[in-house]
Structure 1
Amino acid sequence: MDVFKHGIEAGEEELAPLRTQMLVQLDKLWRSGMDAHIEQLKAVFRALCMRISEQQARGEKGPIGYIHFSYLRSWLMQGELKYALEAYDDTWYMDRCECIELYECDWLYPYLDRMEEGAMAARPYTPNGAAFDSRTVRLREIVTLHQYVREWLRQALPQLLVLPEFEAVKRAEILRIRTGEYKDYSEQLWMEDLADKDAKAVQEWLEQKHPTAYIASDLRSLDLSGGNYADIDLRHSHCTSGNWSNAKMERSTCIGTDFSGSKLSGTNLSQSLLFDADFSSCKLDGASFREAAGGRQVVKDGMVLGFRGISFKDADLEGADLLYADFYNADFSGACMKGALVMSSDAHKWQLSEDQKRNIQWMVEDESGVPVPAGG
């Protein structure tokens, strides 16, 4: 076992550039479209939902509180990348009625195979003279690969959750959909909270700013305007069709947060992390995004931040402050940019129509470094 562990550690110098190369290749796959693989996932998810309904009809399983998409290291050791789709009632792991289907990510094999081959070629033996076990590569790099599977699952969920087989499933008041390692660490992808919510009570809860309590929360269709949510972590939360107008949200973490269809007029999101946030069809007039980040993808130590880019599709950004914001690759299609403040230096970096460019208030720095209207 020590040699096995040593093989992982000793090969890191060789694995790092191979991992970077794999991430570049995976990103190309991601951007070329992953919809082709969703149909197979739908079939497996349908089978899981029908199994749930059968167990519920027999009285063997209660309302579903958890659905897990978990990668299986035991299969990985045999050279196969399989995920278990499991359903539990609201007692979670205390639910002893097994409900499971398997999904094979065979479309990821070429990337894993190339990495293994590169690692074996670079270091066929460990410093102890033992043959380098390629299983060390698979076990180590599943974490890297899983990032893209996780984001693909996020992308696929809206299609899975409208399937009639899922709608027929009896669900608990709170349903959590998670992904990660089997019976180990997992992350929440989605939460459906059907409980009646008092907007004022939710606002008071959010203003307490607990470190991780709000991640992937269900905050849809709530009036949370005027709240003080500065420094809050709302990553991957569902905040659609809500009212966040005039809220203080500076320095917030809104990675992957879905605000689509919401009102955020006058909201302060300056210096916030907005990788993959969705502001499509939002009212953002007078909002501040000054020094917000989330445009350029960040890759560090095999971890990726920024998969899809920020969306401002069909949003109203009239008079918004976008100064010094990193919105490279953001989607501004159909967005109203009338009077929006943008640094002239960003004109060639952002994807803007000619009409949008004419309506923007371009800014430059004066001798003191203060932004002033260009040409004025």
Structure 2
Amino acid sequence: MLRTQLLEQTYQYSVEAYDDVWYEDETDCVLSYDASWAYTPFAVMLEKLERERKKYMGNLNASDIERLMLQAAPFFHQFVLAALRLSIHEMVQLPEYQGFQKAPRLLIRCGEYMDLSENVYVEDQAVPSLEEVEQKLASWTENKAAEEEGGKIIYENFKNLALPELNVTAKDLRYNDFSGSQLTASRFLSCILAGTRWYQANLAGCSFENCLITDADFSRSNLEGANFQGSSAKPVRENGNRTPGLCGTRFDYANLDGANFEGVFLEKNTSFTGASMSATRMPVQYQDQLKFTEVQLQGIQWIE
């Protein structure tokens, strides 16, 4: 995000690629992205504030309005970030992405130019050994410093790993990517799983009891017999901040046969498109609140 572009009302984002020295990379690889679709109300706000400013007879100047608008910029940027998160799986399958040479550990990040940014995708070229994974998970669950920070491990790559019967309790795992991993009969209890990815993962018999699953993506995963009792997809929305909660929790084309959603809180943008839901236990309140096909409605076991 470029604040100068916002004030000029052009709304161009800078898209740049760096090598492992980041901003010291001397080779330019830059293009721009037009994000005006997300910032259309920005111009309306700017015009209205400028009109109101004139009523204060010189007590407010143009720089005061600019400062107010820049303070509001993150509330618009969050929609661009959400769009990137929603499209990233398709993006990394493109021939253009597959064709270029990548660093051993590649990060796709989104944020403000030469300022705070966050990972939306992490790719390791070398598949870590089981010993390396176990060491990372050991420090994750047992390290004293990690415990003092609430056991946080975020924006990490756990794709395509064999970790059956993994047991994790009360950890902050937001935005980790478990896509393609074998996690059968694993237990994630009272964990923060906001924004996590489980695309095409084998999660048969897994437990996600009392977890925060806002914006989690379970698309095309095997969740047969999984337990979501007491979990919640409720977003935090205060003072204009709506992240997480813009993408919606997704179970598209997942196998949810025999899964248990008893006591779960689901937002209206939770998606079950194409999901198999034979004998899925679902609170009856969602029969009208969420979108289900006739086949899904007949296969679901509705509970009071």
| Paired residues of 2:38 and 2:77 also in contact (CA < 8 A) | no
Offset at residue 303 of structure 1 (A): 0.8
Offset at residue 283 of structure 1 (A): 1.8
Higher relative contact order, structure no. (Cα contacts within 8 Å, ≥ 6 residues apart): 1
Q: Find 1:348's aligned residue among 282, 288, 303.
A: 288
- State whether structure 2 residue 166 is matched by structure 1 residue 236: no
Provide the rounded CA distance (Å) in 2 between the counterparts of 1:105 and 1:363: 44
| Paired residues of 2:82 and 2:247 also in contact (CA < 8 A) | no
| Letter matched to residue 357 of structure 1 | L
Could you tell me which residue of structure 2 aligns to residue 153 of structure 1? 84
Offset at residue 352 of structure 1 (A): 2.5
| Paired residues of 1:200 and 1:224 also in contact (CA < 8 A) | no
Matched ranges for 1:193-212 at <5 A: 193-199=124-130, 201-207=132-138, 208-209=140-141, 210=146
Q: Find 1:309's aligned residue among 227, 248, 271.
A: 248
| Paired residues of 1:116 and 1:137 also in contact (CA < 8 A) | no
Provide the rounded CA distance (Å) in 2 between the counterparts of 1:273 and 1:213: 14
1:332 counterpart SS class: coil
1:362 counterpart SS class: strand
The size of the alignment, in residue pairs, is: 293
Could you tell me which residue of structure 2 aligns to residue 264 of structure 1? 203
Q: Find 1:105's aligned residue among 35, 43, 60.
A: 35
| Letter matched to residue 116 of structure 1 | L
Offset at residue 316 of structure 1 (A): 2.2
Provide the rounded CA distance (Å) in 1 between the counterparts of 2:56 and 2:170: 46
- State whether structure 2 residue 259 is matched by structure 1 residue 320: yes
| Paired residues of 2:53 and 2:60 also in contact (CA < 8 A) | no
Provide the rounded CA distance (Å) in 1 between the counterparts of 2:5 and 2:272: 43
Could you tell me which residue of structure 1 aligns to residue 225 of structure 2? 286
Offset at residue 114 of structure 1 (A): 1.2
Could you tell me which residue of structure 1 aligns to residue 2 of structure 2? 72
Change (3 A) 1:125 1:300: same
1:308-350 deviations in whole A, cap 9, x for unaligned? Answer: 3222223222322211112233222333333322223333223
Provide the rounded CA distance (Å) in 1 between the counterparts of 2:37 and 2:252: 31
Change (3 A) 1:124 1:200: farther
Offset at residue 103 of structure 1 (A): 2.8
Could you tell me which residue of structure 2 aligns to residue 119 of structure 1? 49
2:187 counterpart SS class: coil
Change (3 A) 1:342 1:157: closer
Change (3 A) 1:84 1:275: same
Could you tell me which residue of structure 1 aligns to residue 279 of structure 2? 339
Provide the rounded CA distance (Å) in 1 between the counterparts of 2:5 and 2:32: 11
Offset at residue 108 of structure 1 (A): 3.8
Q: Find 1:227's aligned residue among 166, 169, 174.
A: 166
| Paired residues of 1:119 and 1:137 also in contact (CA < 8 A) | no
Give percent identity, aligned residues only: 28
| Paired residues of 1:125 and 1:131 also in contact (CA < 8 A) | no
- Normalising by structure 2, what TM-score? 0.84
Could you tell me which residue of structure 2 aligns to residue 141 of structure 1? 72
| Paired residues of 1:203 and 1:227 also in contact (CA < 8 A) | no
Provide the rounded CA distance (Å) in 2 between the counterparts of 1:128 and 1:229: 59
2:285 counterpart SS class: helix
Offset at residue 249 of structure 1 (A): 0.7
Change (3 A) 1:338 1:90: same
Provide the rounded CA distance (Å) in 1 between the counterparts of 2:253 and 2:190: 25
1:221 counterpart SS class: coil
Change (3 A) 1:126 1:222: farther
Could you tell me which residue of structure 2 aligns to residue 361 of structure 1? 301
Change (3 A) 1:79 1:354: closer
Change (3 A) 1:156 1:266: closer
Offset at residue 272 of structure 1 (A): 1.3
Offset at residue 163 of structure 1 (A): 4.0
Change (3 A) 1:74 1:281: closer
Moved more, 119-128 or 94-103: 119-128
CA RMSD after TM alignment: 2.6
Offset at residue 362 of structure 1 (A): 2.9
- Normalising by structure 1, what TM-score? 0.70
Provide the rounded CA distance (Å) in 2 between the counterparts of 1:231 and 1:127: 55
